[in-house]
Amino acid sequence: MFSTRLAQVALSLVSVSGVVLGASAPLRRATTCNGFSELCDKSFGNVSFVGAHDSYAVGTDNLAVNQDYDVTQQLNDGIRMLQLQVHNEDSTLQLCHTSCSLFNGGTLADYLTKVKSWMDSNTEDVLSILIVNIDNVAPSEYATVFESAGLDTLSYSPSSSPLAATDWPTLGEMIDGGTRLVTFLDNQADTTSVSYLIDEFSNIWETAYDVTDTTFDCEVNRTNGDSSTQMYLINHFLDKILLGSPVPNVDKANETNAESGEGSLGVQVDTCTSQYGRAPNFMLVDFYEYGGGSVFQVAADINGVTYDSSSIATPKDGSSSNSSDSAAPLMHMSGGAPWFALGAALTGAVMIV
């Protein structure tokens, strides 16, 4: 009788607390990470991710855009780093390209709300955001927007910064811990103020951007740390010069995003891997769907997984620069101002990409 009662008490304790004889309940363990079980035990610093360059700059028939599809479709298709350029426009954080009069992609708040919605529906994915803090906005101002979107509670805060590429947790650990969003700020980061806004250039070095020839080199272009131990990012998007400024060269996007061939993503990855003994952690591209998933195949080959390209979006008719090298009247910037009217303004100006 006593033994029966003891068994009932033990079962009751199991059902209420998950504890038997003082043992802790087993922690949740991720079995799929960013779509693959093989990635769960890999360090964040040992995985290669495809990123959308200027991910907010979406549209067609517009020389200031870099993507055909919005952030939700980008994430659905496999993009796992989102690069943003944030401007302080009338005390509101806006996503603009060089200037908000040239291209305004909406508010950071609206964008992050979409990201949060996607993350809520995809709980086994680790995602990065890279913010170009063009107006030197304080971390506390970003924190307000992240908190409003509910992304602060999903954000990873490093125990110290910088972290070497080898010191990051595994994707499985980040998913299990519920801290699946890694956000880098290219300047003004202060982890003592906002712990999850991480300084980019002490943790990541970058190759050159605004490349206008197909020889994408692997030299260190920007860093504030030890490039031998940092993660690194390659800017693999090809531009052409129009009215004195670089604009996306969509005519070459299939070749630029390809697995092999002159100027391809695959060739730059191979070159950098050979030069440094390790593959790039992040690969920023324009119009990622050009190549039919080739950019994701390159990442899959690095990561040792099998990629299925059957569901990726297809290029849209009228993509940004499917045009001649002259500024055509139908090319408009946001707000309806015709591009041909910008000739004087763009000549000699620097397009911040």
Active site residues: 53, 97
CA pair distance 274, 268, nearest whole angstrom: 10
Least Cα distance to 78 among 98, 101, 55, 99 occurs for 55
Cα separations in angstroms, 104 against 27, 55, 336 = 44, 12, 11
Is the separation of the CB atoms in 71 and 115 below 8 Å?
yes
CA pair distance 338, 331, nearest whole angstrom: 6
Three-class DSSP category at 332: strand
Cα separations in angstroms, 317 against 58, 111, 324 = 13, 24, 15
Is the separation of the CB atoms in 135 and 186 below 8 Å?
no
Q: Identify whether 26 is preceded by a cis peptide bond (ω within 30 of 0).
A: no
